[in-house]
Structure 1
C-alpha cells in the first residue's frame, strides 16, 4: 500500500464536537443517502463481492474446482493453469487455451479473467494464492435488498486529530478466515472523543494519497452491528493534522455478507469500549441466517504454515 506523507499535528486535543454541527439537517441527510446508495450499488455490481460463489486455496498440487475451467496450482513461479481441450479463459480480451502462467502475484494484488458466465479473481491474500469465481446470477447478489443502517446524525460527525508515527509501523492483524493474517503499514493514529471520552484508532493508508482507513469494533459489535469489524474512510488531514471522523459512513466489509472473503480484522487497540450507534448494521442476510458472523476456520490441507 502507498505510504502516506507525514502531517503536522494540532496543539489542541480533539473535543468530539460535531465537525459540521451548523449544517442543515436536510442537506446532511440527503448527502448521506446519496453516498449510501452509491456504496450499495458498488457492492451489488454484477462482478462485485455479492457475486462471489467460492473461495479456493491453491497449492502445489494441481486441482480442479466446480464451475472453474482448468486445472490450477501454485508454486515459486506463481499461479499456473492447464486448460484442457475445449476450455478457455479470457485475459485482457484475448482467449487463452492450453497452459498459462500468471507469474507471482503481489500481496493484496490480483488479476481478473473472464470465464463462462462470469469472471474469476486470481489473487494473493495473507501469503496464499486464491481463486474466487464471481457470477452475476449468484443468489446473494440477485436477492440483495440493501443494508440496514442507523439514521444519519450530525452527532456522529466528529472533529479529530491525526498523529503520525515517526515511521510507518508494520501491523499484523487477523482475518475473517481463521488462521489467516494480514500485514499493513500503519502511518499513524486518529484521536477524537465521544461524549468527552478520549479515544484513538490506529489508521492504515486509504485509497487516495494522504487518506486513511480505520478498522474498528465497538460496544454495538455483535449486537446491532457486524461482530468482526467495520471500516471507516477518513479524508486526508489538513496542514494542522485536523480530520473529520464521520461514523455515519462506517461500512461493513465484504465478510459481513459472504464467507468467501478474507477481510482483515481490527488491530487490538481499535476495539472501542463505547457504542458507536452510527453507520451500517448487521446485513439482512446474516440476520436471516441467525449467523453471529464470527471468523470461520479455513481449510488447512496443503496450506502453508
Structure 2
C-alpha cells in the first residue's frame, strides 16, 4: 500500500471516529438526555411528591399511578392527562416518557423497581457540559476477533451503579481476540440492532484515565464465520460516568481486561477528568 493510500485510510478512519464521537456527545447532552436528569425517585406503595415532577406517585401490583393536582397536566403518547393516570405494569428496562412543559418525566422499571426520573433541559449538569475527553483514534485498537456463541444463552446477573441493584441479561456468547500480544475474551450481551452485540468491560486504565466502573462497546453482527471487529476506539462511557442518577449495569465477572486499553472515551470532566 502506498503512503498516500495509508494517509487516506487513516484520515477516513479518523473522520469516521469523529462522527461517532459527536453522535455520542449529542445523545448524552440532548435536551432530555442523561445530563438533563434532575432526580432518581424510587416508587413504593406510598404516594410521594417530588420537586421536579408534578403529582403524587406510587406503584403496586397494577403498576405505576400518578395523581395530578388541579391545573397539572402530563402528555402521555401525545394525549393530555389530568387527575389520576395509570401507566400500568412496565417491563424490565422499559419505560414511558411523560411530557411536562419543556421537561420529560421518565417512568421506568430498573432492576425490578419502578422509578420516576425527570429530565429538565436547564439542568446544571447539561448546561455546563463542555464535552467528553477521549483518546485520539488509532487503528491499532481496532482488532479482528471471533464470536463464539454459547449452546444456550446464559442468564448473567451483574451489579449496577446503584448499590444493591442488579440487572440480569441473557449472554448469547463471547468474543475472543488478541490484544497487546495476549489472547483475551469478553462475554457479550445482545446489542441494539439485529444481530449486534454489546460488551461491558473494564481494563487497566479504569479508575486511572478512564471511568472506573465500566465502559461499553457496540460490536456489529458477526460474519458467517463468526468474525467480528472489536474497535476499542469506540469504547464509550455509560451515563453513570457523568451522573449518580443513572442505574447503569456493571461488567460481568471476567470482563476485566489485564491490559491498558488507551482508546475511546476517558473520565468525564464532571468526574474530574481532563
Q: Give the alignment's Cα RMSD to 1 decimal.
A: 1.4
Partner of 1:287: 272
Do residues 59 (structure 1) and 52 (structure 2) align?
no
Partner of 1:172: 157
Q: Tell me the distance in 1 between the aligned counterparts of 2:13 and 2:113.
A: 43
Q: Tell me the distance in 2 between the aligned counterparts of 1:40 and 1:258.
A: 15
Structural mapping, 1:177-196, within 5 Å: 177-196=162-181
Q: Match of 1:204, SS? A: strand
Partner of 1:29: 14
**Shift, 1:195, TM fit:** 2.1
**Shift, 1:245, TM fit:** 0.3
Listed as ranges, the gaps of 5+ residues in structure 1 are: 1-20, 291-305
**Shift, 1:104, TM fit:** 0.2
Q: Tell me the distance in 1 between the aligned counterparts of 2:52 and 2:142.
A: 45
Q: Tell me the distance in 2 between the aligned counterparts of 1:241 and 1:36.
A: 27
Q: Tell me the distance in 2 between the aligned counterparts of 1:89 and 1:28.
A: 45
Partner of 1:230: 215
Structural mapping, 1:213-224, within 5 Å: 213-224=198-209
**Shift, 1:25, TM fit:** 1.2
Q: Match of 1:81, SS? A: strand
Do residues 86 (structure 1) and 71 (structure 2) align?
yes
Q: Tell me the distance in 2 between the aligned counterparts of 1:260 and 1:23.
A: 42
Partner of 1:14: none
Do residues 135 (structure 1) and 100 (structure 2) align?
no
Partner of 1:297: none
Q: Tell me the distance in 1 between the aligned counterparts of 2:43 and 2:118.
A: 13
Q: Tell me the distance in 2 between the aligned counterparts of 1:117 and 1:243.
A: 42
Q: Match of 2:254, SS? A: helix
RCO comparison, higher one (Cα < 8 Å, 6+): 1
Do residues 115 (structure 1) and 100 (structure 2) align?
yes
Q: 4+ runs of 1 displaced by more than 2 Å?
A: none
**Shift, 1:116, TM fit:** 2.9
Partner of 2:188: 203
**Shift, 1:23, TM fit:** 6.9
**Shift, 1:22, TM fit:** 9.3
- Give CA deviations for 1:170-227 in whole Å, capped at 9, x if unaligned: 0000000010000001000000011220000000000001000000000000000000
- Give CA deviations for 1:231-284 in whole Å, capped at 9, x if unaligned: 000000000000000000000000000110000000011011111110000001
- Per the normalisation by structure 1, the TM-score is 0.86
Q: Tell me the distance in 1 between the aligned counterparts of 2:91 and 2:169.
A: 14
- Give CA deviations for 1:8-35 in whole Å, capped at 9, x if unaligned: xxxxxxxxxxxxx997211111111111
Q: Tell me the distance in 2 between the aligned counterparts of 1:211 and 1:217.
A: 20
Q: Tell me the distance in 2 between the aligned counterparts of 1:202 and 1:162.
A: 10
Moved more, 27-36 or 170-179: 27-36
